[in-house]
Structures are given as structure tokens and as C-alpha cells.
Structure 1
Amino acid sequence: MNEFIDASVFLGMHSEEENIRIKCKNFFVKRMKKEIIMSFETIGECDHIIWGFSRLHQDSYYPFMDRLHTIMKIKRIPYGLKEVNLMSIDKNLQNYKPGLNLALSITHRGVFYTLNQKLISSSIDNIKTIPDEEVELMFPKDLEKYYEESLILKLSVFDF
């Protein structure tokens, strides 16, 4: 089954809250050899948030993020007419900010992972959250080094 993520899952790897950071990081570590899907909008949303930080923070964050996107099978896809049409007729999807993201996951028969509590408690069937984990897993050695350096950037829940 296709797995889609929103910005909360991707940016959660840099959360100032350790439980969120660990579970989001582990989500990616466990899928290093699998494919996950992000919409172009989600990538732009992540960049928009990161660009609000200092050059020092960006220069620490992007070497990790760039390598993760290169090493891991992260498929980036645009919205199409199927998603726009579904969004226009499904009133439930219209109630949520990432409505097109949700439509994308539905039209591609996927699961949509998020930390957004409003979405998690919705009646939309394909939404999942990431369970808490106590043990932090490690990326492959070279990538882990860049991840640790990127942690100079910490995000509050309100950032994403």
C-alpha cells in the first residue's frame, strides 16, 4: 500500500519534543528501503518553514534533508485532475487544510500519515498516525552524522 506523509511527519524529525522527534525519525529509519510519497505542496510547505530560520540553521538542516531525499525512495508527485475533482465533490475533504493531500492519498489508494490531531480524529478512513516509541533508531552511519548535525534546528509544534 502506498504511504503518504504530510509536513508534520517530515518536520517532526526536528521537533523540540523528544517523543515526536523520535517517532518521526524512526518512521523514516524503518522505511529506508521502502517508498513513501510526498506531494509537491508538502515539500514546499516544509521549505517555507525552514526558510524562516537563520542561514546557520538552514545550512545545518539542508545537508541532511538533501541526502535523505537522495538515499531514500521519496516519491514526489503533483496533484492532478482526479484529486481536484475529488476535492470539489467531497465536502469532508474540504473541511481540512491538506484536502488535496488527502485526495491524493485516496486516489492513489494509500495511507496518509500525519501528527495533526484534527485529522487523526476525523472520519476519513485512510488517515493514520505514528505510534510513540521509546528507543531511537539510527539512520545509516553517514546519514546519521548529517542528521545529528541538523538537530541545531528544532521546531515547535506550532511551526508545523
Structure 2
Amino acid sequence: MDEVVLPIIDATVFMGMHHSEPLLRAKSLGFFNSFSERQVLMSFGQIGICDAIIWKKSRHLQDVYYPFMDVLHTEMDIQRQGYCNEVLRRACLESDWGHLNVEKKLLAAHVLEHRRPLFTHDQQLLEMTVLQPFLQAFPLWVSGPAFPQSLQTLFEQSGEMLINQEDFLNVW
């Protein structure tokens, strides 16, 4: 039996569900709608970036957002993992990656080292030639519920939380 290759998502995809840009939000919602019954991978570092963005928001926004995030992480099979030594070595040795911050180098190295599909909205990663074979097209969500009803209700309640590109500054 063939092993299923789990796709990797980054913080831009997870936080994209609440992005102020409608097309980006629709892509992220399409992803989560399509993958809600499947496993995906997300690194501890990328999860930390999501947390850093949320913790910069007001207490009120955190309170309306976290119930959704908590239930999504419980109901969806998001495999969380750290990086292995081979990924660390590759991230440090790739001379063409000097323009990337450490988190992006690690993510790119993880994709390449394990040959996994990648879903991202990050423009720097999308422009990397070496990642092109691994970049995946997003299933587009058009309308209607993106999640099962109990989670959809929490998602709708979390709608006050809006993420902008500026929210990613100073967390990379």
C-alpha cells in the first residue's frame, strides 16, 4: 500500500481563514473545507507564528477567536511536528536562501527534505523556483458553510478577527 504524503501548511494558510483580503480568505477556507477530514502537517514554528499574531490583538479579539481555533485543532487532524537535523542542515547551507528569514528557510527545507506538497500564501515562498514542484493550488471556497455546523458557528463568531499582511510583520 502506498504511503499517503501529507501536505504541509504554514501560518499564512491558517491565519488566512480570517484574512481581510477576500480571495486569500476564500482560498484558505477552501483548503480547510476540502481537508477537514484528512491529515495535514504544520510545524511547531508555524503554529507559534499564528499564536504570535493573535497575542498582538486585543483581549476581546483573542476571546472571540480562540474557541474556533481550539475546536478546529481538536477536530481536524493537524499533525504538529518539529524539524529534524537534515532540515536544519539544509536550511543553514542553502546559499540561495539568504533573502529568507529563518522560519521560511526551515519551512522550505522541510518541504524539500521530505518532498511534501506545500500550501502557502507567502509570496517569497511562492516565488522560489526550487519549491515550484511542491506548491499546491488551493481549492476555492465560494459560499455556504466552510465547516461542520458546530465549528461553523464558532467560525462565524470569530469573524471579528481580521488579519492583514501587516500582522505578519515582526513575527517572522
Instruction: Check conservation: 1:12, 1:24, Cα contact below 8 A.
Output: yes
Counterpart among 102, 107, 118 of residue 113 in structure 2: 107
Counterpart among 81, 85, 109 of residue 77 in structure 1: 81
Higher-strand-fraction structure = 1
Alignment-derived partner of residue 147 in structure 2: 139
After superposition, residues 88-99 of structure 1 pair within 5 angstroms as 88-97=92-101, 98-99=104-105
User: Is 1:62 matched up with 2:66?
Assistant: yes
Aligned-residue RMSD, C-alpha = 1.7
Q: Distance in 1 between matches of 2:98 and 2:84?
A: 16
Identity of aligned residues (%): 34
TM-superposed deviation, 1:129: 5.1
TM-superposed deviation, 1:71: 0.4
Alignment-derived partner of residue 128 in structure 1: 135
**Which runs of 5 or more residues in structure 1 are unaligned?**
none
Opposite residue 113 of structure 2, the aligned amino acid is T
Instruction: Check conservation: 1:93, 1:103, Cα contact below 8 A.
Output: no
The total of aligned residue pairs comes to: 160
Runs of 4+ in 1 over 6 A off after TM superposition: none
Q: Distance in 1 between matches of 2:157 and 2:95?
A: 43
Deviations 1:25-62 (A, max 9, x none): 11011001111111000010110010001111001111
**Which runs of 5 or more residues in structure 2 are unaligned?**
none
Counterpart among 83, 86, 89 of residue 90 in structure 2: 86
Q: Distance in 2 between matches of 1:59 and 1:130?
A: 32
